[in-house]
Amino acid sequence: MRYCLTLDLVDDDALITEYEQRHREVWPEVESHLRHCGVERLEIFRLGSRLVMVMETDDDRFSFDAMAAAERDNPVVQRWEAAMWRYQRPTPWTEENNKWQAMTPIYRLDAS
């Protein structure tokens, strides 16, 4: 399955630069956690202070609830997420107590 999620960054050039640097050095435990939860591919794109994450998952192993539960049991991932919140802000449309917000697909062009 492919998911597209969005999140905003604090609108500060120095913090955005630091955030991007941190993502060039993602902790191995965080990447291991994502793989363990069934994430097969993940990319984050930025325009200004808006982020878009495209995540491809194994349908048999992935669920947002299971990933959240695994995060609650993993202090390293909890520290990473807490550190990232310094840079991140919810979008105006983000549900309460949420960070990344799933986007609604509205169009698709397939190769034929």
Q: CA 65 to CA 89: how far, in whole Å? A: 21
User: Count of domains in the chain?
Assistant: 1
Range of the domain at 47: 2-102
What DSSP character marks residue 70? H
Position 111 in a domain:
no
Position 8 in a domain:
yes
Position 65 in a domain:
yes
CATH code of residue 23: 3.30.70.100
Q: CA 93 to CA 104: how far, in whole Å? A: 12
* The pLDDT value given to residue 8: 98
3-state secondary structure of 88: strand
* The pLDDT value given to residue 50: 98
Position 112 in a domain:
no
Position 59 in a domain:
yes
pLDDT tens for the chain, 112 residues long, are: 999 999 999 999 999 999 999 999 999 999 999 999 999 999 999 999 999 999 999 999 999 999 999 999 999 999 999 999 999 999 999 999 889 999 999 999 999 7
Position 15 in a domain:
yes
